[in-house]
Structure formats: structure tokens, C-alpha cells
Amino acid sequence: MQIKFARALSAADRGAVTLLNAIKAGKAPATLLLDGRVRENLSASHKQAAAQLTQGAQPPKADLAKALATRLEDYRKRGGDAKRGEEMFKAACAACHQLNGAGGNIGPQLDGIANRGIERVVEDILDPNRNVDIAFRYALVKLRNGQTIVGLKRREVGMAVVFADLTGKEMTIPKAAIVSQKQTGRSLMPDNLAEALLPADFNALLAYLFTEK
């Protein structure tokens, strides 16, 4: 939730000031400023302030390699409930990913995902920004009203551009309202699933994905 709030605040100038002041006052952790999306949202002057506030701070994902190995070992040892994993996929993944003809098409299509191998699939889920296909990198779109939109560019329709947001929902933005578009090297997929998914839930999701050959 902290990351969600930090990303939302940093998308606008007044919000960024609020976030920085909260961190200065000790009401929020400085590590929020190490999040990739928060850093990209900040203006140049705010980035300077963020650099001072994060001196000596360690990224929260410094031990991600250990988390990957731990989750992989746990799945190999205990397996998972594929039926439960199917329900989790429908609830958490299907808005963006399509499997067996059902689901969204914002992210990569997942038919045949088991052929990637368990190591690669675990990496793709828990570290989605490690290998991001250029077609699935999100953009930061600055609007004339001061807002910053985070979305995946889908297509252009006349005098408008269609983007998909973090939930897979499409939004149409008039070209005249856009000041700039900057493609990042990052994925729309959440990068905190190592913290958000309990081991049993993660194992269930893997079990479901690996029943789909």
C-alpha cells in the first residue's frame, strides 16, 4: 500500500512535495523513493531532493535472488493446489494475461508457458522487470493539466491515443492533451509479488500454470 500511495503522489508536483515532506518528517520510509516508477515520476528538482533523502538507503529488493531461490525450492518440495491456482489466476492475472482463450491481452499471452521451465516462470513472476519485451514496456505520459499517466500504449485512433492502465483497463487520451510520452524499460506487471503472495498461494498459481501445456 505504501508503494501504491507513493506512486500516486509522485505523479503530480504537489503530490511529490507531500511525499518528500512526509519522508523528511519521518512519517514514511525513504526506501519508497528507490522504487523505479516513483523515481521516473519525479521532476529533476525533486530527484535531487530524493537523492539526498536516500543516501545510504538499501533497495527493499536487495535480497530478491534469495527470494527467487526460496520460492523455487518450496514449490519443488511441496507443490501446489492447481484448482486454487486457477481461481487466483482469474482474480489476479486474467485482467492482463490470456490463457486458453480467456483473459485480457495487455500482457504476454500465456499458452504454453510451462515450456519456459520452472526457473524462468518464477523469475518472470517475481522479477517482471528483468526481461521486458519492448512491446510490453509502459510509458509515462505527461498531460497539459499537470497529471502523469502510467500506461501501456495500445494504439492510435484518429486524434487520440489509447493506453492500458495498471489494471488492464483502456483509457483514451486526446493527442492535444499530451505534452510528452516517455517509454520506460519497465513492465506494468506488479514487482512486489514476492511480498504480496503467500508461499501457498504462489505454489498454487505455479501448479495451475504448469498444468497448461
State pLDDT tens for residues 95-130. Answer: 889 998 888 888 899 999 999 899 989 989 998 887
More confident residue, 74 or 133: 74
- Residue ranges of the chain that CATH labels 2.30.30.100: 134-187
Domain 134-187 belongs to what architecture? Roll (2.30)
Question: With 80 as the cut, is the pLDDT of residue 207 above it?
Answer: yes
Residue 88 clears pLDDT 70, i.e. is over it: yes
Does the reported pTM lie above 0.85?
no
pLDDT for position 135: 84
pLDDT given for residue 38 in this prediction: 92
pLDDT at 133: 82
Query: With DSSP H G I counted as helix, E B as strand and the rest as coil, what are the percentages for the chain, rounded to 5?
Result: 50, 20, 35
Q: Which segments of the chain belong to CATH 1.10.760.10?
A: 64-128+190-209
Q: Are strands 160-164 and 170-174 parallel, antiparallel or unpaired?
A: antiparallel
CA distance 11 to 38: 8
pLDDT tens for residues 171-200? 999 999 999 998 887 888 888 888 888 999
C-alpha distances (whole Å) from 132 to each of 145, 184, 187 are 30, 10, 6
How far apart CA 170 and CA 70 sit, in angstroms, is 36
Q: What is the pLDDT of residue 60?
A: 58
CB 42 within 8 A of CB 16: yes
Q: Which residues pair with 183 in a beta bridge?
A: 139
**The pLDDT of residue 162 is above 80:** yes
Residue 25's pLDDT band, with cuts at 50, 70 and 90, is confident
Q: Which residue has the higher pLDDT, 58 or 74?
A: 74
- Parallel/antiparallel/unpaired status of strands 170-174 and 137-143: unpaired
CA distance 89 to 71: 18
Confidence of residue 89 (pLDDT cuts 50, 70, 90): very high
Q: Tell me, what's the pLDDT at 212?
A: 65
Q: What is the mean pLDDT of the chain?
A: 89
64-128+190-209 folds as: Cytochrome Bc1 Complex; Chain D, domain 2 (1.10.760)
- The DSSP H or E segment spanning 39 is helix 36-41
Helix (H, G, I), strand (E, B) or coil at 141: strand
Q: Report the percent of the chain where pLDDT is more than 70.
A: 96
Report pLDDT for 98. 92
pLDDT digits (tens, 9 = 90+) for 123-157: 899 988 877 788 888 899 999 999 998 899 999 99
Indicate whether 55 pLDDT > 90: no
